[in-house]
Amino acid sequence: MTTTTVDAEQLRGRVGELLAAHDPAKTDRLEFLQARFDAGLAWVHFPVGLGGLDAPRALQSIVETELAAAGAPDNNPRRIGIGLGMAAPTVLAFGTDEQRKRFLRPLWTGEEVWCQLFSEPGAGSDLAALGTRAVRDGSGGPPANEGVAGGGDWVVTGQKVWTSVAHIARFAILVTRTDPDVPKHQGMTYFICDMEAPGVDVRPLRQITGEAEFNEVFLTDVRIPDAHRLGKVGEGWKVAQTTLMNERVAIGGHEIPREGGLLGKVTQTWREHPELRTPELQDRLLKQWVEVESLRLASGRLRQQMAVGAPGPEGSALKLAFSEINQALSGLEIELMGEEGLRYDDWTLRRPELVDFTGRGPGYRYLRAKGNSIEGGTSEVLRNIIAERVLGLPSEPRVDKDVAWKDLPR
């Protein structure tokens, strides 16, 4: 792997070269994004040839600032957040050279949207209990290799649920059960699933907001080549941990300005409705302001930590705090609006591509925030992770730890 020692000034020079060769005002958006990736300016901490320069992650902000000032297009990161925040780090960590070259570029440019096939009707909080089966196809082709992705196919059957953007996704990161005769955290294998493959059926799930942002996905004899396996056979839980840790940082570790995001909406409502202010509401608003500021500063520290390594279990604390703060703020906003806060007329069934907490109304924010404590790991599970893996407290008793998955009650 090529290693570079790019400093801030050299990075600005590379940005200048990109802009000189591809004027954003005259260059097609996709063409510009592809050129940016090829110049190593997509995510500078990635390897050379894979959208990066092997540079410190902290230098990425220089690229973003310089390109934004030049009016360059971005890759619509909110739309492709699952790919950027979850699939890409996993492919980088466990993918073969061929997989990295095939998937990372169109993932980053947004040409291919990704979704996440993890949760199941009987395996949500306890993801390791999942039962979607992947069985080797013994008919034709070389056998699948236990270590390196190679020949042969797998046949996958099962059901996944709560799958965001599955209705527009081209690929999915998928965890399956490949060996039911070992304990549940073993015998799992991780794949890249083609969402356009025969046997993949995506159905909308209507939510409390009235729209269908989530989906349930049925997999019926879906053939996945072994070349689309990430990690070793039976080590899917290990691979999934990389995805989950990055997911929690992606959800709870967004960089926002002071008094930005949902807090900005609430403080705006406070200023616009002086007649509804009470000492009790003022105390609650000030408490939330302090908690949001604490989360903002903690997120900054976590991003500094990530600049020198992969995210750890500490990201669970950010995601937990984000969920609770979002729900408290959206509830406070409704109260500040008085009777108007009870109005909700956005019941049209839509298939949105992203969650929008600041561009929609307060009723939407209040209802949609209820899902924050479930998606990306329930708050109860995150508290266990923080207790055991961050604070070092004793683990909860697990009577199924050494029991084969097939013998677990369901």
Closest Cα partner for 11 from 36, 44, 37? Answer: 44
Annotated catalytic, 247?
Answer: yes
Q: Which of 211, 213, 247, 333 is catalytic?
A: 247
Strand partners, 216: 203
Cα–Cα distance measured from residue 171 to residue 166, given in angstroms and rounded to the nearest whole number: 9
Cα–Cα distance measured from residue 114 to residue 228, given in angstroms and rounded to the nearest whole number: 14
Cα–Cα distance measured from residue 46 to residue 406, given in angstroms and rounded to the nearest whole number: 40
Q: In this structure, are residues 354 and 81 in contact, taking their beta carbons and an 8 Å threshold?
A: yes
Closest Cα partner for 162 from 372, 380, 384, 383? Answer: 372
Strand partners, 218: 159, 201
Burial 44-81 (b: 16+ CB within 10 A, else e): bbbbebbbbbbbbbebbebbeebbeeeebeebeeeebb
Hey, what are 389's tokens?
């893996």
Alpha-helical (H) ranges within 175-314 are 236-252, 261-272, 279-306
So which residues are the catalytic ones?
Answer: 247
